[in-house]
């Protein structure tokens, strides 16, 4: 998997075929594997969890942040680096984020 501007592209290991599996409204700045079926997608306006089986966005976070990277350390802590708001550290990936503006709750 790789990104091209605002698209997620899948290329087979033993094939020259390319398939666009996802489109985003903003430029993709980071793509990484979260699990066997999920990707972290960092864009100019947020972090997304993308399901590669269903080719769709599962969740989105940090919409005001320009995400440059995501790293899970050896203790399971999630480090999210941004280009405009510094570094976020999430100690528990099951933490619930509460958005005051929309009153929505979602798990990382």
For the entire predicted model, the pTM comes to: 0.77
The whole-number pLDDT of residue 91 equals: 81
The whole-number pLDDT of residue 75 equals: 87
The whole-number pLDDT of residue 106 equals: 53
CA distance linking residue 22 with residue 3, whole number of Å: 9
Structure tokens at 43: 């864009």
Going from the C-alpha of 91 to that of each of 32, 36, 61, 87, 95, the distances in angstroms are 19, 22, 16, 13, 8
Q: What is the DSSP letter of 83?
A: S
The whole-number pLDDT of residue 98 equals: 58
The whole-number pLDDT of residue 100 equals: 57
The whole-number pLDDT of residue 104 equals: 47
Structure tokens at 96: 């619930």
Structure tokens at 35: 């699990």
Check if the beta carbon of residue 42 is closer than 8 Å to that of residue 28: yes
Contacts 24+ apart (CB under 8 A), 98-102: none
CA distance linking residue 47 with residue 59, whole number of Å: 8
The whole-number pLDDT of residue 3 equals: 86
- Report, as ranges of residue numbers, the positions in the chain whose pLDDT lies below 70: 92-108
């Amino acid at each position: 998997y790789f990104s091209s501007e605002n698209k997620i592209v899948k290329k087979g290991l033993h094939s020259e075929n390319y398939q666009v599996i996802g489109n985003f409204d903003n430029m993709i700045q980071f793509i990484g594997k979260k699990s066997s079926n999920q990707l972290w997608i960092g864009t100019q306006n947020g972090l997304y969890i993308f399901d590669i089986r269903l080719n769709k966005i599962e969740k989105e976070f940090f919409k005001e942040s320009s995400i440059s990277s995501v790293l899970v350390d050896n203790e399971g802590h999630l480090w999210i680096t941004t280009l405009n708001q510094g570094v976020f550290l999430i100690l528990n990936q099951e933490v619930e984020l509460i958005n005051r503006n929309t009153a929505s709750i979602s798990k990382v």
